[in-house]
C-alpha cells in the first residue's frame, strides 16, 4: 500500500513539486523580508518550549473549531482540556486535519515564494530596461539640445535671409522701374529712329530725283552740243558691196562717185545713234545710283531688287520610277530643297551638315558639303537667285551660306528655342524664321539683324511668306495669318491636328497644310477657308516635321508617309492619283518638287535621299 501510494505520488509529479518547494524555501531563507519573522520565531522559542507552544496552538484551534469560549484562567483551561480528552478520536481527527491544513499552507507559501522569485527576475529585467531607456533618454536629450541650437541658428539665418530678400526686393523694384523707364526711352528712340529713317529715305529719294534731273539736263545739253556739232561737220560712210545691197532697199537716194565707190552724204548724225548713246549713259548712271542705294541696306528702300517667280513648268510630270538614290548623311535627314533652276538639290540632317547635289541626267552627284552649323538642320531654302542658302537649326539660330564658298556668311541669333523654319521673302535681303519659342522673327540679311518680332502664342512648326502677310502653322492645331506691315494676327484657321508643314502655291492663291491627324488640307487664300481635305488609307504623318508640297503647276499635292510610301493627290479631282511604295524603308520626313516639274526628291529617317523621275 505504501509502495502504491509512493508510485502515485511520483506519477502525479510530487517529486518535482518537492524540489521546487525546497528551492523556494532556500530562496525564501535568503530574502531579507523573512529576517524579521525568523527573529520573532526565535524569541517565541526562547519563552516556551516547543511542546507547550504546540499544545496551546492545538487547544486554541480546537476551541475555535468546537465553539468553546476563550479561556481566561488556568482552571478553565484545565476543565476544558479534561472535557476534550474525553474525546480522543475527535482530537486525533482534528489534529490530522490541522496537519493537512499546515501542509497545504506550506505548499501555497512555496508557490507564493516562487512567484516572488519570478517577480524579482522581472523586476531586474525592468530595471535593466529602465536603465537602457534612461541612457537613450540622455542621448536624445543631447540630440534635442543640438537640434535646438541648430534651430536657433536657422531662425537667425531665416531672419538674415528675410532682410536680404527684402533688400533684394527693393532693389528689384528699383531695377524694374528703371527697366520700364529704359524701355519707354528705347521705344521713343525707336520711333525717332524710324522717323529719321523715313526722313533719310525721303532725302535720298529727293536727292535721287535731283541727281536724275541734273544728269538728264547734262545729257540734254551734251546731246544738243553734239547735235549742233554734227550739223556743221560732214560725215562720210564707206559702204561695202554686201552692205550696199542691203542699203539699196532702205535708202533710195544715193550719190555715185568715181572708182565704183558710193558714198552717202548726211548733213547730221543718226538720231538712233544719239538715242542709243543717251540710253547707255542713263543706264550707267542709274546703275551706279542703284548700287549706292543698295549699300544703304534699308529694309523699306524702294530700290530693292525684287525677284519675280517666272514659272518654268507648264505641266508637272508624275514620277513613275526611281532615277537615283544615295545614302546622303550619317544620320537622319530632315530637309530637302531644289534650287530655282532645278540644277541643284540641297539636303540637311541631324549630322549638322548640308550637302549640295548636282542633278545631272537624272543622277545625284555630290558637289559640295556646307559645314559650320552648330545644331541639327531642320529646313533649307534657296534665295530667289539661287546663290545663297538659308537653313534653320536646332541651336536656336538660322545660318546663311553662299553657294560655292563653303563657309557660312551670317548667323541669325535671337530665338530662345529650336528654329524650325527659315524662309526668304520677295528679295534675298529679307527672311523670316519661326521657332518653338512662340515667336516669328523678320530679318534684314544685309545687316544680319532682326527688325521685327511677332509673338505667335504657340510652338511654330513651319512658315510661308506672301507679299502682304506671313502664314504660320502651330502646335496648337491652328494656322495663323500675320500682317507683314504691323505685327497683328488677321486670321486664324483651326485644323484637327498639329500642323507639321505649310506650302504655298506659285500663284499665292492656295495654301497646303499637313497635320498630325493624317490629312492634307488645301486652303483658299482668297476666301480664307478650307477648300479640300486629302486622306488615304495607309497614309500616316510620321513626325511633327513631316513636309508636304505643291507641284510647280499646282496640279498635285505630294507628301511622304510613316511607312516610307509617297502619296500624290490630284487637285482637280481631289482623289489619290498614285502612291510610290517600296523604296524608303522608314518614315519619309520631307519631299521636294523641282521648279521645272521633272524631278521629285524625298528623304527619310534612314539617311537615304531618293530622286524620282
User: Does residue 148 surpass a pLDDT of 90?
Assistant: yes
pLDDT band at 454 (very low <50, low <70, confident <90, very high): very high
pLDDT band at 397 (very low <50, low <70, confident <90, very high): very high
| pLDDT score at 571 | 93
> Over the stretch 490-521, which tens digit does the pLDDT of each residue have?
999 999 999 999 999 988 999 999 999 999 99
| pLDDT score at 486 | 78
Judge residue 16's burial from the number of C-beta atoms within 10 Å of its C-beta, 0-12 exposed, 13-18 middle, 19 or more buried.
Answer: exposed
The model's pTM is 0.53
- Each domain of the chain, given as residue ranges in start order, spans 12-63+94-126, 322-612
Q: For residues 482 and 470, is the Cβ–Cβ distance under 8 A?
A: yes
pLDDT band at 103 (very low <50, low <70, confident <90, very high): confident
pLDDT band at 145 (very low <50, low <70, confident <90, very high): very high
**What is the domain class of 322-612 according to CATH?**
mainly beta
| pLDDT score at 40 | 73
Average pLDDT value for residue range 223-240: 67
Judge residue 367's burial from the number of C-beta atoms within 10 Å of its C-beta, 0-12 exposed, 13-18 middle, 19 or more buried.
Answer: middle
> Over the stretch 11-61, which tens digit does the pLDDT of each residue have?
455 788 888 888 888 777 777 666 776 677 777 766 655 455 455 555 555
Average pLDDT value for residue range 570-588: 93
Average pLDDT value for residue range 152-156: 93
Sheet strands side by side (includes 489-494): 460-465, 469-474, 478-483, 489-494
**At a CB cut-off of 8 Å and minimum separation 6, what does 27 contact?**
113, 114, 117
Which has more pLDDT, 226 or 59?
226
CA–CA separation, 56 and 50 (whole Å) = 10
Average pLDDT value for residue range 406-419: 89
Q: For residues 347 and 335, is the Cβ–Cβ distance under 8 A?
A: yes
| pLDDT score at 445 | 92
User: Does residue 592 surpass a pLDDT of 90?
Assistant: yes
Q: For residues 70 and 61, is the Cβ–Cβ distance under 8 A?
A: no
Query: What totals of helices (H) and strands (E) does the chain contain, helices first?
Result: 8, 30
> Over the stretch 367-382, which tens digit does the pLDDT of each residue have?
999 988 888 999 999 9
Average pLDDT value for residue range 332-348: 95
**At a CB cut-off of 8 Å and minimum separation 6, what does 554 contact?**
505, 506, 507, 510, 571
Query: DSSP letter string over 241-283?
Result: HHHHHHHHHH----EE-GGG-EE--BSS--HHHHHHHHHHHHH
User: Does residue 545 surpass a pLDDT of 80?
Assistant: yes
User: Does residue 303 surpass a pLDDT of 80?
Assistant: no
Beta bridge partners of 566: 560, 580
Average pLDDT value for residue range 4-9: 51
> Over the stretch 518-542, which tens digit does the pLDDT of each residue have?
999 999 998 889 999 999 999 999 9
Q: Map grid coordinates 559640295 to a residue.
A: 368
CA–CA separation, 482 and 489 (whole Å) = 5
pLDDT band at 234 (very low <50, low <70, confident <90, very high): low
pLDDT band at 280 (very low <50, low <70, confident <90, very high): very low
pLDDT band at 323 (very low <50, low <70, confident <90, very high): very high
Angle at which helix 2-11 crosses helix 14-30, to 10 degrees, equals 70
pLDDT band at 195 (very low <50, low <70, confident <90, very high): confident
Average pLDDT along the chain = 80
| pLDDT score at 250 | 40
| pLDDT score at 162 | 92
Amino acid at each position: 500500500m505504501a509502495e502504491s501510494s509512493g508510485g502515485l505520488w511520483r506519477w502525479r509529479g510530487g517529486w518535482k513539486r518537492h524540489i521546487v518547494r525546497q528551492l523556494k524555501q532556500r530562496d525564501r531563507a535568503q530574502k531579507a523580508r523573512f529576517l524579521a519573522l525568523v527573529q520573532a520565531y526565535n524569541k517565541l522559542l526562547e519563552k516556551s518550549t516547543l511542546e507547550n507552544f504546540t499544545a496551546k496552538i492545538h487547544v486554541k484551534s480546537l476551541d475555535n473549531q468546537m465553539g468553546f469560549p476563550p479561556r481566561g484562567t488556568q482552571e478553565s483551561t484545565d476543565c476544558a482540556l479534561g472535557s476534550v480528552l474525553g474525546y480522543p478520536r475527535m482530537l486525533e481527527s482534528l489534529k490530522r486535519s490541522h496537519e493537512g491544513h499546515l501542509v497545504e499552507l506550506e505548499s501555497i507559501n512555496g508557490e507564493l515564494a516562487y512567484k516572488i522569485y519570478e517577480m524579482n527576475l522581472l523586476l531586474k529585467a525592468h530595471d535593466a530596461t529602465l536603465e537602457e531607456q534612461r541612457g537613450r533618454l540622455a542621448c536624445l536629450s543631447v540630440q534635442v539640445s543640438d537640434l535646438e541650437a541648430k534651430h536657433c541658428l536657422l531662425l537667425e539665418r531665416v531672419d538674415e535671409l528675410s532682410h536680404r530678400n527684402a533688400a533684394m526686393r527693393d532693389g528689384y523694384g528699383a531695377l524694374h522701374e528703371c527697366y520700364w523707364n529704359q524701355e519707354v526711352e528705347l521705344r521713343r528712340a525707336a520711333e525717332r529712329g524710324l522717323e529719321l529713317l523715313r526722313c533719310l529715305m525721303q532725302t535720298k529719294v529727293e536727292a535721287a530725283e535731283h541727281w536724275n534731273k541734273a544728269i538728264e539736263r547734262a545729257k540734254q545739253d551734251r546731246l544738243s552740243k553734239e547735235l549742233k556739232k554734227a550739223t556743221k561737220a560732214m560725215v562720210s560712210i564707206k559702204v561695202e558691196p554686201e552692205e550696199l545691197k542691203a542699203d539699196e532697199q532702205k535708202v533710195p537716194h544715193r550719190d555715185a562717185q568715181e572708182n565704183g565707190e558710193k558714198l552717202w552724204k548726211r548733213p547730221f548724225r543718226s538720231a538712233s545713234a544719239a538715242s542709243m548713246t543717251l540710253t547707255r549713259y542713263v543706264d550707267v548712271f542709274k546703275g551706279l545710283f542703284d548700287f549706292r542705294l543698295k549699300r544703304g541696306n534699308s529694309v523699306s528702300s524702294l530700290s530693292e531688287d525684287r525677284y519675280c517667280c517666272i514659272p518654268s513648268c507648264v505641266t508637272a510630270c508624275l514620277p513613275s520610277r526611281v532615277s537615283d538614290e544615295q545614302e546622303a548623311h550619317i544620320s537622319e535627314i530632315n530637309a530637302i530643297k531644289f534650287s530655282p533652276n532645278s540644277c541643284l538639290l540641297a539636303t540637311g540632317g541631324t549630322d549638322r551638315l548640308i550637302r549640295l547635289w548636282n542633278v545631272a541626267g537624272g543622277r545625284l552627284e555630290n558637289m559640295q558639303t556646307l559645314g559650320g552649323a552648330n545644331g541639327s538642320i531642320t529646313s533649307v531654302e534657296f534665295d530667289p537667285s539661287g546663290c545663297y542658302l538659308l537653313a534653320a537649326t536646332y541651336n536656336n539660330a538660322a545660318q546663311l551660306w553662299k553657294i560655292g564658298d563653303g563657309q557660312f556668311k551670317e548667323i541669325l541669333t535671337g530665338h530662345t528655342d529650336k528654329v524650325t523654319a527659315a524662309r526668304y521673302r520677295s528679295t534675298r535681303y529679307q527672311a523670316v524664321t519661326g521657332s518653338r519659342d512662340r515667336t516669328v522673327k523678320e530679318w534684314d540679311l544685309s545687316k544680319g539683324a532682326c527688325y521685327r518680332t511677332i509673338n505667335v502664342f504657340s510652338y511654330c512648326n513651319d512658315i510661308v511668306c506672301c507679299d502682304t502677310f506671313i502664314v504660320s502653322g502651330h502646335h496648337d492645331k491652328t494656322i495663323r495669318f500675320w500682317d507683314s506691315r504691323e505685327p497683328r494676327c488677321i486670321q486664324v484657321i483651326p485644323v484637327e491636328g498639329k500642323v507639321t508643314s505649310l506650302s504655298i502655291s506659285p500663284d499665292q492663291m492656295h495654301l497646303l497644310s499637313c497635320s498630325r491627324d493624317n490629312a492634307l488640307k488645301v486652303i483658299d487664300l482668297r476666301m480664307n477657308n478650307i477648300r479640300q481635305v486629302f486622306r488615304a488609307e495607309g497614309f500616316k504623318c510620321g513626325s511633327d516635321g513631316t513636309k508636304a508640297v505643291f507641284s510647280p503647276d499646282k496640279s498635285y499635292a505630294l507628301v511622304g508617309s510613316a511607312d516610307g510610301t509617297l502619296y500624290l493627290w490630284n487637285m482637280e479631282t481631289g482623289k489619290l492619283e498614285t502612291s510610290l511604295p517600296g523604296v524608303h524603308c522608314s518614315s519619309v520626313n520631307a519631299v521636294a518638287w523641282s521648279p521645272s516639274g521633272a524631278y521629285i526628291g524625298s528623304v527619310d529617317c534612314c539617311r537615304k535621299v531618293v530622286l524620282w523621275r
